[in-house]
Structure 1
Amino acid sequence: MCRKFALCMSLVMSLTLSQVLAAEQFRVLSSWDDSYEPVGQILGGFLERLEEESNGEITSRVSGPETFPPFEQLDPVSRGLMDMLFTNGAYHYNDTAVAMSLDSLIGGPDKLRESGIWDYVDERYQERGLKLIAVLYDMNGYAIMLREALDPDNGLKGRRIRGTPIYHPVIEALGASPVVLSASEIYPALERGVVDGAAWPTVGPVGLRLYEVADYMLRPSFGQVGHEVFMSLDKWNSLDEETRDLISKVAEEYESEAVEKFNEIVAAEEATLEEKGVTITELNEKQQAQVDKAWFQGAMDLAEKQSPEAVKRIRELAADAGMAP
């Protein structure tokens, strides 16, 4: 009888524990599918860390842009249809440009928090029903893949370079004309000579196979790529204080780790591009200064058109903290 009772109690306790684990499973929405390396390595690493640190009480299930289109993901998360979002600020520019402005700054996650910008961004998104959890930075930033090498005297004068609006100031600063194309159009446009190059983050050209249609990669890169993790504010508020503290602690620690993880991804990608015959073409010191200035001012000006008061404040905080070129 005692053995049967003990067995029943053990079964009940196991079922109760399983119910607790299931109750804390987050539905995570990503702006990219698994072909984008950071989804598995960066987001996946963060979610694994949450599970480890919570002793398995926090689990996650990731869905990609097939669930909600990448440029329309703030709303479903703010309304609680999904619990978390892994994205970039430029993807929801039409709603708010606050997070997009972070890509133009100088300095990593520690400076972002020390400057007060992190908390300010969090406050602005809470007004939209979202809680900022982490900013996972790829400090390697953005670059341009080119069919022909950079002209040391004339930059990219007379060339046509693919780039969404955030890239336009840099493209124009180098003397080129911007052409707006979606990601799926980049390869055929380069292949047919419709464009002479394409601006893109340093992570990604391998996945897009751009090495087959572009023989050069522009360096040094510019800016930094923010990968924000948001949570539905209602979901956040529904969690107990201990769980919220754990998530915040893990997120802050992981922000620094993510920088190194991104460095490893980019190093591997650049090695692959080199193996495929892609050559580095370098900006000179003057051109680099022009690019850095154009990137910061251009991205900030674009962001300020959409979110004037908020981005103006971010500019002030960035200037005070030495995070603007």
Structure 2
Amino acid sequence: MKFWKSAVVAAVASLTFGGVANAQNLRLLASWDSSYAAVSDVLMPFVKKLENDTTAGVKIQIMGPETVPPFEQLDPVARGLFDMLFTNGAYHFNDTAMGMSLDAMSGTAGDLRDGGVFEAVDKGYQEIGLKLVAVLFDLNGYHIMLKEPVGDNGLEGRRVRGTPIYHPAIEALGGSPVVLPGGEIYPALERGVVDGAAWPTVGAVAYKWYEVADYMMRPTFGQVSHMVLMNLDTWNGLDDATREEIQQIAVSFESEANAIFDGLAEKERTALEAEGMEETALSEELAAKLQTAWFEGALDLAATKNPDEIANIRKLAAEAGLD
């Protein structure tokens, strides 16, 4: 029995007679707890704007991974047991790769909207009962924290934590990927279960990974999409005015999120250096290989799950200069 089943039972008990939660009182699952700055410094301000700037008086209760484990959150939201989800597409790759494709893009959420990529991804999620509300991008991307500096052969022979989207990049550098939730990274590094961990450039300070890893691999790569999804029945149950207000708030805040993440990334780098972490650089040849492996690998991997949809996204991205 899954340990979060009691939370789901409680959620079901709170549903109205018609089977859909009160449209103005929404429950949001987050894939990370509030110690991750994307939750405390980005999601929470977004939620406050939704609550303060919608005339219908939307109220949102945030629940973290202690309620439902990160890799298991998509299904209960799609089934309406919760109303919203704040996550990354790689966390539910086994269900759909549409969201994971966003991390392969090279552009802002506004660029994705203008180029039709946002609409294509939204269409894919609607087919499984979800609505894509916003994409809060950290354009600073990802990096790999290591116990030892990179060698002439990159990460050859090393085990590196990474969800499926990281696998092509890790393997291109000679490493072996290991899938672990964020909460298991510290003990895995401490015990030597892994030799490194791939993660956004924001987050290591809060989780104190500098205590068990001494190096930050450079260059960084990709960009991090934090998606806000809503159960489609919940979305359709909102009145037209509220849906329009939410869409306007989302578009506006997507731009604000870029600036917030820029500040967080700079603060993070400074703090990690103060804690004794050092940069370790790939050779130019391996750095170029990393970038190619990331962008092509992410979409190639996504295509193994949703081939037709990803082919369309790849075409739209190329036409909009987002590839």
Q: TM-score higher than 0.5 here?
A: yes
The offset of 1:52, in angstroms, is 2.4
The offset of 1:97, in angstroms, is 0.7
CA distance in 1, matches of 2:241, 2:56: 15
Distance 1:189 1:92, change over 3 A: closer
Q: Deviations over 1:287-312 (max 9, x none)?
A: 22211110112111211111111111
Q: Which amino acid aligns with 2:201?
A: T
The offset of 1:182, in angstroms, is 4.0
Q: Which residue of 2 aligns with 1:245?
A: 244
Q: Which residue of 1 aligns with 2:105?
A: 105
The offset of 1:109, in angstroms, is 0.9
5+ long unaligned stretches in structure 2? 1-21
Mapping of 1:66-215 within 5 angstroms? 66-151=66-151, 153-215=152-214
Distance 1:187 1:80, change over 3 A: closer
Q: Which residue of 2 aligns with 1:51?
A: 51
Q: Which residue of 2 aligns with 1:236?
A: 235
Residue 220 of structure 2 corresponds to residue 221 of structure 1: yes
CA distance in 2, matches of 1:130, 1:172: 32
Identity %: 57
Mapping of 1:267-286 within 5 angstroms? 267-286=266-285
Q: Which residue of 2 aligns with 1:29?
A: 29
Q: Which has the larger radius of gyration?
A: 1
CA distance in 2, matches of 1:23, 1:242: 13
The offset of 1:23, in angstroms, is 6.3
CA distance in 2, matches of 1:89, 1:307: 13
Q: Deviations over 1:87-130 (max 9, x none)?
A: 11111111111001111111111211111000111111111111
Secondary structure in 2 matching 1:261: helix
Q: Deviations over 1:165-219 (max 9, x none)?
A: 3222212222333334443443333334443322122122122221112111012
Q: Which residue of 1 aligns with 2:295?
A: 296
RMSD of aligned C-alpha atoms? 1.9
The offset of 1:225, in angstroms, is 1.0
TM-score by length of 1: 0.87
CA distance in 2, matches of 1:120, 1:41: 28
Secondary structure in 2 matching 1:68: coil
Secondary structure in 2 matching 1:206: helix
CA distance in 2, matches of 1:39, 1:140: 16
Secondary structure in 2 matching 1:306: coil
Secondary structure in 2 matching 1:82: coil
Q: Which residue of 2 aligns with 1:318?
A: 317
5+ long unaligned stretches in structure 1? 1-21
CA distance in 1, matches of 2:93, 2:180: 17
CA distance in 2, matches of 1:23, 1:129: 16
CA distance in 2, matches of 1:193, 1:321: 43
Q: Deviations over 1:139-159 (max 9, x none)?
A: 1111101122223x4323343
Deviates more, 1:87-96 or 1:71-80: 71-80
TM-score by length of 2: 0.87
4+ runs deviating over 6 angstroms: none
The offset of 1:244, in angstroms, is 0.9
Deviates more, 1:270-279 or 1:64-73: 64-73
Q: Which amino acid aligns with 1:101?
A: S
Q: Which amino acid aligns with 1:41?
A: D
Distance 1:192 1:87, change over 3 A: closer
Secondary structure in 2 matching 1:207: helix
